[in-house]
Chain A
Amino acid sequence: MFRRIPRVVRAGLVAGIVSVYLCLVGVVGSLVTDVVGRITVGRVLLSIPAILAGFLVARPRVVSGEVRRSSVRAGVPAGAIVGLTTGALLAVFVGIVNLLGVDTVRNVFIAVKPGLMSLLTFGHAGVVGSVLRIAAEVALGAVGGVIGAMQDRIRVPTVIAATVVISLGLLRRIVHPALAQLGLRDDWLFSVVTLGLTWFGAAAVFVVTFVTTFAWRANSAAIRARTHRTPATERGVRVVVLAAIGAGLIALPFLVGSIFSQILGTVGIYILLGLGLNIVVGYAGLLDLGYVAFFAVGAYTTAVLTGGSRVTTTGYAPPSFSLHLSFFIAIPIVVVVAALVGLVIGAPVLRLRGDYLAIVTLGFGEIARVLFSSDWLKGAFGGTQGMTAIPAAPIGNLDFRNTQHFYFLVLAFCLIAVYISWRLADSRVGRAWNAMREDEQVAEAVGVSTVRYKLLAFAMGGAIGSLGGALFAVQVGALNNASFMLLVSITALAVVILGGMGSIPGVVVGALVLIGIPGVFSEFEQYRLLLYGAVLMAIMILRPQGLIPNVRRSQELEEEDVAQDKWAGAVTADEHATSPALPLGEGTG
């Protein structure tokens, strides 16, 4: 039935449903930071479905092997029809709410407030408001249509420039102090009144980004040819780039100030978790949903070893076992403990594959949390009240309670973890893991001890993850079970997935986007998990190799379907998680 509706209208309907969803779930009404002028984040989000749908119907598509490109003249009306449909749906929504009364609807859908309704109708009641909304959606759809019908060399810079403008508008809280630190004026860029971009600033940023991207794309080959002419110049370029990154990393906490340094610290902790999980999931192909266990082990072990106190009803008390080691002496012990926990978790699940492994590890993660916070082990870990007064051993002038100093501690750990991940990826160990990920039974038959390498992956992943936990203990100085929910595992997974499984830069970018942006843009905090859920689904459906795929695997996942089909039928039979020793070849020869 749905298929009989013309494509354009269908796209509009989907966009309309998404728009209504965004209104109901609250993002449109409650994200009120201004991005440009008086346009709030919520409005930007509300406008995206129509633009995107317009874009999708107008962009070039392949029809029976032939690329069909629509002209801009055809793109506009197509986009407009999309917008009309979207607008109509939103108008119906507004109508229904008005009919029932905002207060009635609000009893069920808490996001439906007068503010949302006036945002949808531009402050006009009745038919006028609905007509305005429909007109706006038509315009948005048409804009999407235009973008979709543009030629690539114009479209790509346009999209990038628009993204940069919006990001800059969102990140004012971090950009503004940084510019001030550098002694730069930014009142032309950011409005003092709305705290978003000024229209002039937005236009300027757009133009500059557009021109730069356009020029770069046109000339990148020539530039590359010049810098990579000889090995010496190539190395020179690399040194300059590395030096610039290094300088940037050192200057960063001072530029953004102490509040945002804390967010950077958290980003770093998730980079560590992501890198550790990346070894388990990305390299060895073992989906571990209980990764929070290592985070908890790292944090609690650090607390116990460095002399944290239990919280009791009467005050503080030392745990039943306690040492007062320096953080840096405790760290190796923490790592060893976590690696052992990795072995303990890994050992019973050696036989399990794929999805069963995921669920069982999830169970282990939950068990870890329940045990750490149970009354049973209260003497050791403080029960639900947890532990507090975890010291942060300073070195010299660096005091790690200070968020800017803490940043450097995290940075050092991250660099170590990146180095380890990078070395392992291209070594005998990494190859064995990869072989195991590709085909466990064949890896075994070629001489890789899958038992050993599975355990090794759990231990290694756990060790790196525990560093994240140890740093977390130092960062917050207090622990309780709320910090060790399943969500930590899922967040770490989202970090790995967004960037691309097996990709080290992917983990860094994943953590910056998924931890950094909600951190800076604090309004967004309550929708953080909604975002993670959406990211996990969207990446898996649209781009399973992630945003920054592992170099080697970049081409491959595109062709995964083909490879899957071609690859011997027996492989699918092998994949049943729990079947015991499966016939390779046929059971009876």
Chain B
Amino acid sequence: MAEGTDLQPAPSPATARLGRLQRLPLRRLIQIVLAILIIGFVVLGTYKTLNLPPDERYDPSTWKAFVISGVAQGGIYALIALGYTLVYGVLRMINFAHGEVFMMGCFASFFFADAYASSGLLNRHPFYALAIIFAIAMLTSCLIAMLLERVAYRPLRNSPRLVPLITAIGASLFLQNTAFGLFGPQTQAYPVPDVLGGDRTWTILGITMQRIQVVVIVTAVVAVIGLTLFISRTRTGRSIRAVAEDREIASLMGIDVDRTIMITFALGGLLAGVAGVQFGLTFGQVSPYIGFTPGIAAFTASVLGGIGSIGGAALGGLLLGLLQAVGPPLLFTGFNIPAPFQLQDVITFSVLVLVLIFRPGGILGSGEAEKV
């Protein structure tokens, strides 16, 4: 073959022509099929569940309890989700180890709570004791988050995107097993002060809720409002927004980027610490493995609401909490699937996948998931 000549347009038009089948937009097709399947499943499942024979049906008060526990659970998710959202907004990076930051806060506060419980302080002065417990958890989570940023993520600031993610997975495993090595593998009972005990309730606006649920929801709301004010009103908040927008330009404008990123991690850590105590009080237990599932769920929540958006994280947390609490009985009972709550994680991950496929920007996102 002579060089140069074989570059002539080789394929005859006939072979280069595309068949009708190849013109089908495959991705679209997959999306549509998937959408039909999901909607069908949801509608059918709901219909079947609601039309079960009366003796197998859940009664309205059970549904109400599902909803309330979903909202409370959602509050915890929202707090953790804020950490994901802040870091993602600033670094475009999924801080996979954030669930472990939350776990560490919970663990640290546990030892104080335990000591106060055995000394009786927890029940004598529950308010002060809880204040200290919250402070300890927030401090610990904050420190861990900052350490994580300094040691694991800062050296990788300009690496290809997968590198920090793999590091974060490593960090998650490392922290989890550090807790395992430091504190032991066993699940320990997180002491709950009597005032917030399981059967104590408050009735607000005619709805009776467990007190701990009220505390969780109120703190979550306060945290979201506080964070929003902080980001929008303070100088530091402005730096964070600037760095999120464009790191390079921000540094040219005299913003200390390293410090700002550190503060972002610290904020996420503080909120994770709050969530850690709430988790301990709600579920009454702590172990090195409690970080993973809520971590993933909170990440899902932040994506659902629109990652990078504070309101989105709150909304996403709330919705995911509800979906997790109401979804399994509503969707699966009708199909006679035994133990529907086993499939709670399936709901979480399905939500994540579906959001990313159909609306990657999330509910509050603009279609592209890029802004804080």
Chain A residues positioned under 8 Å from B158 (CB to CB): 561, 564-565
In Å, the complex CA distance between A71 and B175 comes to 39
Number of interface residues of A (CB under 8 A): 66
Q: Is A276 an interface residue (CB 8 A)?
A: no
Given contacts A26-B181, A374-B343, contact A536 B162 (CB under 8 A): no
B172 close to A355 (CB less than 8 A): no
Q: Are A532 and B26 closer than 8 Å at their CB atoms? A: no
Q: Is the CB of A422 closer than 8 A to any CB of chain B? A: no
Contacts of A111 in B (CB 8 A): 181-182
Distance between Cα atoms of A367 and B352 in the complex (Å): 12
Tell me whether B165 and A360 are in contact (CB under 8 A): no
Bound complex: CA A376 to CA B328 (Å): 13
Complex CA gap A358/B183 in Å reads 30
| Contacting residues, chain A, for B155 (C-beta < 8 A) | 541
Closest Cβ of chain A to B87, distance in Å, is 12
> With A289-B169, A350-B27 as given contacts, are A540 and B163 in contact (CB-CB < 8 Å)?
yes
| Segment from B69-77, B208-216, B261-269, B353-361 that makes contact with A | B353-361
Whole-angstrom distance between the Cβ of A527 and the nearest chain B Cβ: 7
Q: Are A352 and B356 in contact (CB under 8 A)?
A: yes
Is the Cβ of B169 less than 8 Å from the Cβ of A493?
yes
Are A578 and B160 interface neighbours, CB within 8 A?
Answer: no
In the complex, residue of chain A having the shortest beta-carbon distance to the beta carbon of B175: A533
* Contact mask for chain A residues 6-20; partner B; CB cutoff 8 A; 1 contact, 0 none: 000000000000000
Determine if A575 is an interface residue (Cβ-Cβ < 8 Å). yes
Distance from B80 Cβ to chain A, minimum over Cβ atoms (Å): 15
B159, B170, B342, B357: the one within 8 Å of A536 (CB): B170
| Assembled-state Cα–Cα distance A538/B152 (Å) | 9
B160-195 contacts to A (CB < 8 Å): 160-167, 169-178, 180-184
Residues from chain A with a CB closer than 8 A to the CB of B166 are 287, 493, 497, 536, 540
- Judge if A363 is at the interface, Cβ distance under 8 Å: yes
A362, CB-defined interface residue at 8 Å: yes
Interface size class of B (residues with CB under 8 A): 35 or more
Q: B40 contacts the other chain (Cβ, under 8 Å)?
A: no
A296 to chain B, nearest CB (A): 15
- CB pair B93 A355 closer than 8 Å: yes
Q: Are A578 and B361 in contact (CB under 8 A)?
A: yes
Q: Contact between B343 and A376 (Cβ–Cβ < 8 Å)? A: yes
Candidates B177, B184, B348, B370; contact of A576 at CB < 8 Å: B370
Closest Cβ neighbor of A30 among chain B residues: B181
Q: Which residues of B contact A376 (CB under 8 A)?
A: 332, 337-339, 342-343
Query: Contact partner of A533 among B30, B111, B172, CB < 8 A?
Result: B172
Give every chain A residue within 8 A of B174 (Cβ-Cβ): 530, 533-534, 536-537
A375 near B338: Cβ-Cβ < 8 Å: yes
| Residues of chain A contacted by B176 (CB below 8 angstroms) | 529, 533
Supposing A536-B170, A578-B368 touch, asked if A355 and B111 sit within 8 A by C-beta, the answer is no
Task: Name the interface residues of A407-455: CB closer than 8 Å to any CB of B.
Answer: 451
Q: Is B369 an interface residue (CB 8 A)?
A: yes
Check A355–B173 contact: CB distance below 8 A: no
Measured CA separation A486–B349 after assembly (Å)? 14
A308 interfacial by beta-carbon distance below 8 Å: no
Contact B159 A560 (CB under 8 A): yes
Q: Give the residue name and chain of the B residue nearest to A21 (CB).
A: B178
Q: Does A179 contact B (CB under 8 A)?
A: no
Q: Quick one: which of B30, B346, B348 contacts A350, CB cutoff 8 A?
A: B30
Q: Does A34 contact B (CB under 8 A)?
A: no
Complex Cα gap A141–B174 (Å): 26
Q: Are B181 and A540 in contact (CB under 8 A)?
A: no
Interface members, chain A 316-346 (any B CB < 8 Å): none
**Once the chains bind, are A530 and B181 in contact (CB under 8 Å)?**
yes
CA gap between A25 and B178 in the complex, in Å: 6
Known: A359-B299, A529-B177, A530-B177. A109 touches B183 (CB 8 A): yes
Q: State the CA gap A527–B185 with chains docked (Å).
A: 12
Given known pairs A350-B30, A541-B167, the reply for A370 and B345 (CB within 8 Å) is yes
A335, chain B: closest CB distance, angstroms? 23
Residue of A nearest to B369 (CB): A578
Which B residues are CB-close (under 8 A) to A355?
Answer: 93-94, 161-162, 165
Q: Does B132 lie at the interface of the complex (its beta carbon under 8 Å from any beta carbon of A)?
A: no
Partner of A358, one of B159, B165, B173: B165
A367 to B303, CA, bound (A): 18
A383 to B271 CA separation, bound complex (whole angstroms) = 37
Interface pair A356/B368, CB less than 8 Å apart: no
Q: How far is the CB of B107 from chain A (nearest CB, A)?
A: 9
B226 within 8 A of A: no
Contact of B27 among A289, A364, A451, A486 (CB under 8 A): A451
Cβ B169 vs Cβ A371 within 8 A = no
Q: Tell whether, in the assembled complex, residue B161 and residue A354 are in contact, meaning their CB atoms are under 8 Å apart.
A: yes
6 more A-B residue pairs beyond the given contacts A362-B296, A363-B349, with a C-beta to C-beta distance below 8 A = A356-B303, A378-B338, A533-B175, A544-B163, A576-B368, A578-B356
What are 24 sample pairs from A and B whose C-beta atoms fall under 8 A apart? A26-B182, A108-B182, A349-B356, A355-B94, A360-B356, A363-B352, A367-B349, A370-B342, A370-B346, A374-B339, A451-B26, A451-B27, A493-B166, A529-B176, A529-B177, A530-B178, A532-B173, A533-B171, A538-B170, A540-B156, A541-B167, A564-B160, A577-B369, A578-B356
10 shortest A-B CB distances, which residue pairs?
A536-B170, A533-B174, A363-B349, A533-B173, A578-B360, A25-B181, A530-B177, A537-B170, A375-B338, A540-B167
A residues whose Cβ falls under 8 Å from a Cβ of B: 21, 24-27, 107-111, 285, 287, 289, 347-352, 354-356, 358-360, 362-364, 366-367, 370-371, 374-376, 378, 451, 486, 490, 493-494, 497, 526-527, 529-530, 532-538, 540-541, 544, 560-561, 564-565, 575-580
